Amino acid sequence: MNKFFATLLGLSILANMILGFMYVGQKTMMTQAEDQNNETKKEIVQLKSKVNEKDQDLNTFQRNATYYEIEHSEEVKSFVDETFRGLFNYDNKNYAARFDQVKDRLAESVISKLKASGEMGSMEIEFKNEVKSLHVYLSAVEKDQAKALVMMETQYSV
């Protein structure tokens, strides 16, 4: 009977040792998994930060690309060029009619201000204004707005 209890005691000790090793192994695996989980969470935070940074870079690039397109737009430069030439190439005959040429390009308030700055009646003096050169420099203000600096050389004859 003693042998039986000794064997049972030995098996019990062996089973406890195996369970103890399994517990330590499981605890180690759990610690490693938690460490790996924490490391993964840190990497996710870093990746989210990089994604936000790249999104900002992309937005900046797109805004700058849009501004570049506006500032180098031949269509806008041509519009400004034609409008200014229509307004500043005139003589006695077409002085008043020149505003009709640009009425589809300018707001009525702008045209009325331009008309107010000059005499609209008949002139006895022969005069002529001719645009010799015109350079348009564009600067983007917003995605769909530009400022234009117009350098114009005219020859006025009386």
pLDDT tens for each residue of 5-62: 888 888 889 888 898 888 888 988 999 999 999 999 999 999 999 999 999 999 989 8
pLDDT higher than 70, residue 118? no
Task: Locate the domains of the chain by residue range.
Answer: 1-71, 74-157
pLDDT higher than 60, residue 122? no
Q: How far apart are CA 95 and CA 109, in angstroms?
A: 19
φ, ψ dihedrals at 147, nearest 5°: -100, 145
pLDDT higher than 90, residue 152? yes
Size (the chain), residues: 158
pLDDT of amino acid 121: 56
Torsion of CA 137, 141, 146, 151, to 10 degrees: -30
Q: Place 117 in a pLDDT band, splitting at 50, 70 and 90.
A: low
Q: What is the pLDDT of residues 75-114, one digit of tens each?
A: 989 999 999 998 888 888 888 788 888 888 888 888 888 8
pLDDT higher than 70, residue 120? no
pLDDT higher than 80, residue 68? yes
pLDDT of amino acid 20: 87
User: CB of 146 within 8 A of CB of 138?
Assistant: yes
- Full-prediction pTM beyond 0.75? no
